[in-house]
Chains A and B, each alone.
Chain A
Amino acid sequence: MCGRAWISLTPIFSLTIMFLLMASAVASPGEPVNAAALAKALRIYRDVSELSVKFKQIKTFKDISAPLHSEGELRIVRPDLVVWSFTRPSPLELRLTSEEIKITSVGDSGPTTRTFRRDQLTSTGDAKRLQALMVWLNLDPVALSKSHSIVRHPNGVYSFTPLTPGTDPFARLEMALNSRGELQHLIIYERSGDKLEFSFAKPNLKTKPQTS
């Protein structure tokens, strides 16, 4: 019997096209972006308290030719909760807070949860990666501007390069916004040479209650 990760040809084809378009956009010279400009680009997320969005993900390893495909749902509750749930290839939930990381997998004998305090993970590596991702997913333009050099490329593609490359686990991030300003694609280039590519569906947004 063959074990298979879930693969569908159509999404792969469309994802590939999108990422090729992003790559060509980034290859063109872009213009630097400051916090205000980034805030304007991400204005639809300014008053969001909670966000949930379906995604498709491709992970490409530096030394392995075949990528891993997965899909699931991302839920962000500001300021410090990220729930990254996979539905395929297997149910898996990664729950990130400022204090701990919980990984819950569901098998035939029921769910199994492993909890790691942030300081239980290696100081350079896993915790930093997940923490950096969590900070990034909050889409705070001020925080992102302070820690990254941001360039805007054609077709709504932005590239983020860490200002302190020695300490950041990611070498570069690229995001593409659609015409409505919604995050459509995200590519994370890890320092190890691995690459994570996300394609997001239309998000469900909950805004903060207005104070009178």
Chain B
Amino acid sequence: MANRYSGFAAFLVALTLPVFFLLQRPSSEWIDQSYRAFLPNDVAESLSAYQRFPVFWWNFLVFERESGPGADSQSMTKACREFAEENKNLIKNLPCGASFAHALPLALAWVADMPLRNEPPPAPRLQALLNSTLAKASLPLGPDVRYLARLDPFDSLRELEALAQEKSRLAFRREGGLFFDSRSGRVLAPVQFNFPPQDTAKTAEALKTLERVMGAPRLFGPHKSTLENESTVKNDISTVSWVGGSLLALVAMGFFISGRWRLLMFFPPLFLSTAAAIAMTVFVFGEIHGLALAFGPGVIGLSMDYAVHAAFAADRKRATWLANALGVLTTMSVIIVGLLSSIPVLRQLMFFSGSGLLIGFACFFLMHQCCPHLFREKPFFWKLRAKNVLSPLVLILVFVGLIGILTFKPAFHIGDLNFETQETSLLNRWLTREGGFKTPHLQIIDGKKVSALISAEEQAKWARDHGIRAETIAGLLPTPRAQSSNLASWRRLVCDGKSIFSSSNREFFLPFVEKTCADETVIRSLLPGEPSPSYFSDFQSGDQWVSLWFPDSEEQLSELRKRFPDTSSIAEIAARFPKVLVGELIWMAPATFLISFLLLLIYYRSFSLSIASILPFLTGLGAYFAVAAFIEMKVSFITLIGFIMIFGFSLDYGIFTTDSALGRADEATRVRSALTLTSLLTLAGFLPLIFAAHPSMRHLGQALLLGTIGTFLGAIWGAPAFVARYSKARIRDTVE
């Protein structure tokens, strides 16, 4: 006996160790709240390109007619300047609040490379440009502007301005960095942050200033979207934790009030095993997603099945634990199949559930082995009348379940992983429809494998030849060979004895002359590790460079795909997602079913008894589809994940009641009592998910909640009656 106690104590201590180590780290380090975990790695990697390159870090400040610092652009500009000033470490570009001082470094970098970028124009144009610069230099302008003029005799800054204008293509009137939509009265101010959307802490910081300085504009774009999703997941975890915890507390109170206080002793090892499961998941995956964490209370409810089943069993210890073991095996078969999914959050969910279930099972088994008298409890003698015939409700649910599973068409849309407020959704539609906003196709050049400038030049040339608009780094600087040729041409004009400048002008443009003629003038190759000028930054992420394509028609798109098959768009990447998912579900669902059914057949050695065990699953599905028919519930791929989970735990109920139908009457009562309690616990675990704002959590909660109710109905009024009707083994006395 002492060995049993000490063995069990050692087991519990061992469980606390991973939890202890986990708690040494702040939760922000190991709780993942991004939506990247919902996507298969290759899809996530492709979509991440839209987050890695600064050219995609543009958002919009949207002012409604009634809000904002003022309807006129002057007030807006003043507010923009203030916002830019307070957030200069967060903002890369804010055209409505642009200051010369802010733009100067970029302008200097641009004009410094003019002799590399352009060949000298014909003489008359050269003279005209020079005279124009001299005229501007005659104005009483500051030393910065003067220095810029001295470095840029031929006004190459116009090209940079033209590129900036090209980028901002919206079908609204533009004035001073703002876009005005006369129809809706909205004003848009483009803003480019200098950090990626994943850095939500910085986005939140910028939003605080925004509210204070600019009234109540809305931020629209990738940064806001990412923050919104993360906030929603965070809030949902909190909601689910509070609601789930409160419900469990209520159930625990119910135990205590009903005098079944021994059942309360299952909670501490249950919490410990769940915490240990979290720690193990973090250890294996590096982090745990909020969705998996929110699933935690549900796992608690599932683990309790075995403990409560054994607690209410009289003296059928061996048979009870055999049934429990089969329940764990069938549930684990679902989990093991799910571990093979390419969706990271699903793997985490399965690992977390599986490890929690196994540890919980081990805990309760050891507890019952160690001190069976301590953990035995009298059942609730509820008068649940189970009959020998299948109740009409069960028949209907089975029918609806079968029809539903054969006819439903889930929406495999990646958008189901994205939380979007109605406001954001409306803005998105407005900007696309009224503003003509288009997301470009992108193509990535790996600077480690190819010359970025040469590849970009090939792309640009092809784009010009086929009349397709493209933005590539070739528009910023030509190939190294062309740079050398341009520089040589300028040097012949500027550095040799016969100069294009008069003696008086030469002194004014000396900075340009010195820069152009210096031996140290660098030809830029953009090789890996080579520092690149600041005007490349939008298109660069490490050693990778992005090119943007804007095909105007299907024909252009088709030509583009033929020539550059590695181009992709958000829509195309998103379209890969359902293909991956369907490919997985096509084998996962049948594999899960077959493995479990095989285990049942091995256990029962009877086809009818195996079918009886599956009956609660069919009624679980039936309950879901019956409610979905009346209420508009979206069936997404997350719902299918829920169905797979339902299959896992419904088999537990099916096995318990099928076993009990073959046993004594009081055994059936005990099992029904246990199932009622465990169903309540499972409901308490999954109910909070339906209050989640994030669609993924909500869909999962709907499936699990309704599935649990249907499973319970099928377990109580389905399986025993099916056994009585169709099995050779007869229930001796089931009518109460």
- Listed in ascending order, the chain A residues whose CB lies under 8 Å from chain B are 1-5, 7, 57, 59, 61, 64-68, 70, 84, 86, 89-92, 94, 99, 103, 105-108, 112, 114-115, 117, 119-122, 125-126, 129-130, 133, 169, 188, 190, 192, 194, 196
- Between-chain CB contacts (< 8 Å), 13 pairs: A3-B500, A61-B508, A68-B137, A70-B135, A91-B135, A94-B139, A106-B132, A107-B132, A117-B176, A119-B77, A119-B78, A129-B141, A129-B142
- Listed in ascending order, the chain B residues whose CB lies under 8 Å from chain A are 73-74, 77-78, 81, 98-101, 123-132, 134-146, 155, 158, 161, 176, 498-505, 507-508
**A125 and B128 in contact, given A2-B500, A70-B134, A70-B138 (Cβ under 8 angstroms):** no
Instruction: Please give me the 10 A-B residue pairs with the lowest Cβ-Cβ distance, nearest first.
Output: A66-B504, A90-B131, A92-B135, A125-B142, A89-B131, A90-B135, A90-B132, A3-B130, A70-B138, A4-B502
When the two chains form the complex, which single residue of A1, A66, A130, A192 contacts B507, counting CB atoms closer than 8 Å? A66
When the two chains form the complex, which single residue of A61, A105, A169 contacts B132, counting CB atoms closer than 8 Å? A105
Asked if B505 and A66 sit within 8 Å, CB to CB, the answer is yes
Q: Across the A-B interface, how many residue pairs have beta carbons closer than 8 Å?
A: 120
A42–B462 Cα gap in the complex (Å)?
66
Asked if A4 and B505 sit within 8 Å, CB to CB, the answer is yes
Asked if B136 and A105 sit within 8 Å, CB to CB, the answer is yes
Note all chain B residues with C-beta closer than 8 A to A112: 158
Asked if B508 and A122 sit within 8 Å, CB to CB, the answer is no
Asked if A120 and B136 sit within 8 Å, CB to CB, the answer is no
Asked if A1 and B131 sit within 8 Å, CB to CB, the answer is no
B135 to chain A, nearest CB (A): 4
| Centre residue among B125, B129, B142, B501 by max chain A CB count within 10 A | B142
Chain A: CB-nearest residue to B142: A125
A128–B158 Cα gap in the complex (Å)?
24
**A3 and B501 in contact, given A89-B135, A115-B176 (Cβ under 8 angstroms):** yes
Note all chain B residues with C-beta closer than 8 A to A66: 503-505, 507-508
Note all chain B residues with C-beta closer than 8 A to A188: 140
| Centre residue among A4, A7, A57, A86 by max chain B CB count within 10 A | A4
| Centre residue among B81, B125, B141, B503 by max chain A CB count within 10 A | B141
Asked if B505 and A196 sit within 8 Å, CB to CB, the answer is no
Asked if B140 and A122 sit within 8 Å, CB to CB, the answer is no
**A90 and B134 in contact, given A66-B505, A120-B176, A122-B99 (Cβ under 8 angstroms):** yes
Chain A: CB-nearest residue to B153: A3
A8–B212 Cα gap in the complex (Å)?
58
A52–B129 Cα gap in the complex (Å)?
27
Note all chain B residues with C-beta closer than 8 A to A1: 123, 126-127, 498, 500
| Centre residue among A64, A70, A89 by max chain B CB count within 10 A | A89
Note all chain B residues with C-beta closer than 8 A to A57: 138
**A117 and B138 in contact, given A3-B126, A90-B128, A107-B132 (Cβ under 8 angstroms):** no
Asked if B505 and A126 sit within 8 Å, CB to CB, the answer is no
Asked if B98 and A92 sit within 8 Å, CB to CB, the answer is no
Chain B: CB-nearest residue to A71: B138
When the two chains form the complex, which single residue of B136, B155, B505 contacts A5, counting CB atoms closer than 8 Å? B505
**A122 and B142 in contact, given A90-B132, A105-B135 (Cβ under 8 angstroms):** yes
**A103 and B136 in contact, given A115-B176, A125-B142 (Cβ under 8 angstroms):** yes
When the two chains form the complex, which single residue of B78, B136, B142, B158 contacts A92, counting CB atoms closer than 8 Å? B136
B130 to chain A, nearest CB (A): 4
When the two chains form the complex, which single residue of B100, B129, B130, B140 contacts A121, counting CB atoms closer than 8 Å? B100
A112–B155 Cα gap in the complex (Å)?
11
When the two chains form the complex, which single residue of A2, A90, A108, A133 contacts B140, counting CB atoms closer than 8 Å? A133
Note all chain A residues with C-beta closer than 8 A to B508: 61, 64, 66, 68
Asked if A59 and B138 sit within 8 Å, CB to CB, the answer is yes
Q: A90-B134, A107-B128, A119-B78 are in contact. List 18 more A-B contacts (CB 8 A).
A: A1-B498, A5-B502, A5-B505, A64-B507, A65-B507, A68-B134, A86-B135, A89-B135, A90-B131, A92-B136, A99-B74, A105-B155, A107-B129, A117-B73, A119-B77, A125-B100, A126-B142, A169-B140
A122–B143 Cα gap in the complex (Å)?
12
A172–B297 Cα gap in the complex (Å)?
79
A3–B123 Cα gap in the complex (Å)?
9
Note all chain B residues with C-beta closer than 8 A to A107: 125, 128-129, 132
A42 to chain B, nearest CB (A): 22
Note all chain A residues with C-beta closer than 8 A to B134: 5, 68, 70, 89-90
**A192 and B142 in contact, given A68-B137, A120-B99 (Cβ under 8 angstroms):** yes
Chain A: CB-nearest residue to B138: A70
Asked if A2 and B98 sit within 8 Å, CB to CB, the answer is no
Note all chain B residues with C-beta closer than 8 A to A194: 140
A123–B293 Cα gap in the complex (Å)?
52
A7–B504 Cα gap in the complex (Å)?
11
A66–B508 Cα gap in the complex (Å)?
8
A35 to chain B, nearest CB (A): 26
Note all chain B residues with C-beta closer than 8 A to A115: 176
Note all chain B residues with C-beta closer than 8 A to A133: 140
Note all chain A residues with C-beta closer than 8 A to B135: 70, 86, 89-92, 105
Note all chain A residues with C-beta closer than 8 A to B127: 1, 3
Asked if A125 and B144 sit within 8 Å, CB to CB, the answer is yes
A3–B132 Cα gap in the complex (Å)?
12
Asked if B501 and A2 sit within 8 Å, CB to CB, the answer is yes
A210 to chain B, nearest CB (A): 35
A190–B145 Cα gap in the complex (Å)?
15
Asked if A190 and B123 sit within 8 Å, CB to CB, the answer is no
B404 to chain A, nearest CB (A): 62
Note all chain B residues with C-beta closer than 8 A to A94: 139
When the two chains form the complex, which single residue of A64, A120, A126, A190 contacts B98, counting CB atoms closer than 8 Å? A120
B107 to chain A, nearest CB (A): 13
B142 to chain A, nearest CB (A): 4
Asked if A126 and B81 sit within 8 Å, CB to CB, the answer is no
Note all chain A residues with C-beta closer than 8 A to B130: 3
B103 to chain A, nearest CB (A): 10
Chain B: CB-nearest residue to A109: B125
Asked if A59 and B137 sit within 8 Å, CB to CB, the answer is yes
Asked if A190 and B140 sit within 8 Å, CB to CB, the answer is yes
A61–B143 Cα gap in the complex (Å)?
10
Chain B: CB-nearest residue to A4: B502
When the two chains form the complex, which single residue of B132, B138, B143 contacts A68, counting CB atoms closer than 8 Å? B138
Note all chain A residues with C-beta closer than 8 A to B132: 90, 92, 105-107
Note all chain A residues with C-beta closer than 8 A to B139: 84, 94, 130
Chain B: CB-nearest residue to A2: B502
Note all chain A residues with C-beta closer than 8 A to B155: 105
Note all chain A residues with C-beta closer than 8 A to B176: 115, 117, 120
Asked if A117 and B74 sit within 8 Å, CB to CB, the answer is yes
B180 to chain A, nearest CB (A): 15
Asked if A108 and B81 sit within 8 Å, CB to CB, the answer is no
**A126 and B503 in contact, given A70-B135, A112-B158 (Cβ under 8 angstroms):** no
Note all chain A residues with C-beta closer than 8 A to B128: 90, 107-108
